[in-house]
Amino acid sequence: MTVLFFIAAAVAVISTVLVITRSNLVHALLYLVVSLFAVAVVFFTLGAPFVAALEVIVYAGAIMMLFVFAVMLLNVHADAPPRLTWSAWAGPLVLVAVLLAELVYGIGLSNQALDDAIVGPRQVSRALFGPYVLGVELASMLLLAALVGARHISAQPDDGAPEEGSGEGDDGAGAEEGED
Amino acid sequence: MAAVSLDYGLVLAAVLFAIGFVGLLTRRNLIVVLACIEIMLNAAGLAFVVAGARWGKADGQVMFLFVLAMAAAEVAVGLALAIRFRQTMGRLDVDSADEMKG
């Protein structure tokens, strides 16, 4: 398990360095996805499989999806080359291959080695809805405030009554009927 | 997995946090700045999980869940701000926001 931890830590550090050194924004974000996967493997080796799954689902899934949508919406990669070259393939391919090899190896040894020090979803849930239930309520209020705040910030400044019903597609559409 | 000592995990968290901080200070693209903040929050959550795994308690993972919710809220507001920034300034360079205009 220590070997898995160090390999995943090396992948995390290398991909995070590549995040802050790439000039292409999309490449940087995809290296960040690789970095989050590597940190998920680190969580798994630390005996926290629930948090590892949440790292993949929420961080690498939802949050990075928000980033990629923002990049698409802002159209900041209009000057990028249209086709990925082999040099752009090489880095992510090597890092993800290392993580895949770790995954296959971890599946092989999961029966005898993974069962002793795991803090599983049951214990996490008992703690989360026991002594930390006030924090859960505060987190829900924080997420609601962020939802309202993001909607308010990204709305056009001159549409006094934003029309409802079309969700996130109405930001660029209803900007003409402002009356101040 | 108890063989992974506390020191190595905390060193990894510190290294990831430092890399994110360097990127936050050096990059001028607003999206990359937000990504670096995500790296730093993730490193802080990693420190929580490492400490929780050291003593076999679930509290570290609970704290990571709170960090996760906070990161999701932060990135939603931050990307909305980035979109407004792009519409106002015409580009994503954070140095172009060095003037306060009423």
Using CB atoms, pick whichever of B53, B57, B72 lies closest to residue A46.
Answer: B53
ipTM of the complex: 0.89
Residue A109 has pLDDT above 80, yes or no: no
Q: What is the CATH number of domain B7-90?
A: 1.10.287.3510
Amino acid A147: pLDDT: 93
The answer to whether B17 and B54 are in contact (CB under 8 A) is: no
User: Would you tell me which residues 72-101 of chain A have a C-beta closer than 8 angstroms to some C-beta of chain B?
Assistant: 73-74, 76
Give dist(CA B32, CA A61) in Å, integer.
Answer: 18
> Cα separation of A2 and A47, whole Å?
12
Domain ranges of chain B: 7-90
For chain B, 102 residues long, give each residue's pLDDT as a single digit of tens.
Answer: 455 678 888 999 999 999 999 999 988 888 899 999 999 999 999 999 999 888 888 888 999 999 999 999 999 999 998 888 888 877 778 877 777 665
Q: pLDDT grade, residue A115 (50/70/90)?
A: low
What is chain A's mean pLDDT, rounded? 79
Interface of B with A in 7-36 (CB under 8 A): 8-9, 12, 15-16, 19-20, 22-23, 26-27, 29, 31-32, 34-36
Q: What is the pLDDT of residue A24?
A: 82
**Contact check, Cβ <8 Å, A12/B12:** yes
HEC letters along A130-161 = CCCHHHHHHHHHHHHHHHHHHHHHHCCCCCCC
**pLDDT the model gives residue B91:** 78
CB-based contacts of B59: which residues, under 8 Å, 6+ apart? A127, B52
